[in-house]
Amino acid sequence: MPITLDATTADFEAQFTALLSAKREDSPDVDDTVAAIIKDVRARGDAAVIELTARFDRLELTPETLRFSPEEVAALVAQVPQAEREALELAAARIRDYHERQLPEDASWTEESGAVLGWRWTPVGAAGLYVPGGLASYPSSVLMNAIPAKVAGVERLAIVVPTPDGKANPLVLLAAQIAGVDEIYRIGGAQAVAALAYGTESIAPVDKITGPGNAFVAAAKRRVFGKVGIDMIAGPSEILVIADKGQNPDWIALDMLSQAEHDESAQAILITNDAGLARDVEAAIERHLQTLERRAIAGASWRDYGAIITVPDLDTAAALSNRIAPEHLELCVSDPGALSQQITHAGAIFLGAWTPEAIGDYVGGPNHVLPTARSARFSSGLSVMDFLKRTTLAKMTPVALRAIGPAAETLARSESLEAHGLSVRARLDHLNG
């Protein structure tokens, strides 16, 4: 049974705080194993990657077959039914359109002194995208990671995707093709992350690695961070639905189950000011859990981490939501625009009953890689910005240096950094005489 809380009871604050701080993921400590794998790949390159792939994926590769050939990609992609191809293409077009609007502008301005200041954005040179194999191999994630990189202007985009026993997912390859991925390697695990970060004889190193993965992949990303950039380490998925009277309980139940079915550690929470709706949603969830294909997973998630919170009003709902800082927030209320103004921390907001969260997973346009585990308090979903970096620009003139140089000298002296001050003073002396 999920937790049921009432915001008007005396012990609510303690219960809500417990809900907030509940740890939903207990990652196995694989750090030593991962450290050894990375060391091995750095030392032996291709040979290590090939050996580890044989051991973990039961797949014999050579330096020549680490990468899918264009012919192999074409043959696999040809297996994809037309309806799925069209759906992927529609999704890709919408994701591309949304992300193209994120491209930031360069800036440059001239001060009265003639000094010019500004900044310029440039893309990361090469990016690598981890795509999980097996059950959680999602073509939609390929689009969500690869399209922002290509929109940012990343010249070289490589994918690593393990193919246990040699089984590849044609939809993943098609998504990569549609997104404009340049290289696809049939490797996975910590060895694939190490190969991307440090390079091997056959795989050139990249500058940034993104994409989801299991505990080994997450540990490897943490370890190579600094050598390359990484995206966030994502935790289990979450949804918070805020609903008011008159909403369709069945739709809300399905939206909540669409998070719960991802993972036994996923979390679905309903906050409502209508006790009747709370009961109806709970009943609808129980009903769907009788028949849902992934009922074992969704049922465990709902039982262990699900929650229904009744509140006196929607202001309270918004305040609680901001403390949760949910990854996905659905506002199934009569005036979602007004309520959204009260939301300060959320990865993505879905406004109104016609916007099921699943739309955002596939075809809405915004990215589905979003901050989990309350990290929407301080971080954002994946975007074009993750594949760009900013270079600041400054050009002084003699007039500008005369105006602000002495202050720099004063501060340099106060920080006991003599050469800093002298580098300014030498120029000022030149100007003065």
- By CB under 8 A, residue 258 contacts a second copy: yes
Q: Please, which of residues 373-392 interact with a second copy by CB under 8 A?
A: 373, 375-381, 383, 385, 389-392
Binding to a second copy by CB under 8 A, coded x per residue (else -) over 333-372, reads: ---xx--x--xxxxxxxxxxxxxxxxxxxxxxxxx--xx-
Residue among 164, 261, 267, 333 that touches a second copy (CB under 8 A)? 261
Of the pair 212, 366, the CB lying nearest a second copy is at 366
Q: Please, which of residues 67-96 interact with a second copy by CB under 8 A?
A: 83-84, 86-88, 90-91, 94
Q: Least Å distance between CB 307 and a second copy?
A: 18
Q: Least Å distance between CB 61 and a second copy?
A: 27
- By CB under 8 A, residue 24 contacts a second copy: no
- By CB under 8 A, residue 246 contacts a second copy: no
Report whether 368 belongs to an annotated binding site: no
Of the pair 44, 323, the CB lying nearest a second copy is at 323
Q: Please, which of residues 292-321 interact with a second copy by CB under 8 A?
A: 292-294, 298
Residue among 257, 277, 309, 320 that touches a second copy (CB under 8 A)? 257
Question: Residue 267: what residue type?
Answer: Q
Active site includes 430?
no
- By CB under 8 A, residue 204 contacts a second copy: no
Helices 31-44 and 215-224 pack at an angle, to 10 degrees, of 60
Radius of gyration of the chain (CA): 26
Distance CA 353, CA 330 (A): 8
Residue among 112, 414, 432, 433 that touches a second copy (CB under 8 A)? 414
- By CB under 8 A, residue 149 contacts a second copy: no
Q: Least Å distance between CB 6 and a second copy?
A: 26
Q: What is the CB neighbour count within 10 angstroms for residue 328?
A: 25
Of the pair 43, 54, the CB lying nearest a second copy is at 43
Of the pair 78, 90, the CB lying nearest a second copy is at 90
Residue among 30, 103, 117, 300 that touches a second copy (CB under 8 A)? 117
Residues in the chain: 433
Active-site pick, 183, 261, 264, 327: 327
Report whether 342 belongs to an annotated binding site: no
- By CB under 8 A, residue 191 contacts a second copy: no
Active site includes 71?
no
- By CB under 8 A, residue 427 contacts a second copy: yes
Of the pair 60, 335, the CB lying nearest a second copy is at 335
**Interface stretch with a second copy, choices 10-18, 34-42, 180-188, 411-419 (CB under 8 A):** 411-419
CA 99 to chain CA centroid, Å, is 14
Report whether 288 belongs to an annotated binding site: no
Catalytic residues: 327-328
- Annotated binding residues: 130, 191, 214, 237, 259, 262, 328, 361, 415, 420
- Annotated binding residues for Zn(2+): 259, 262, 361, 420
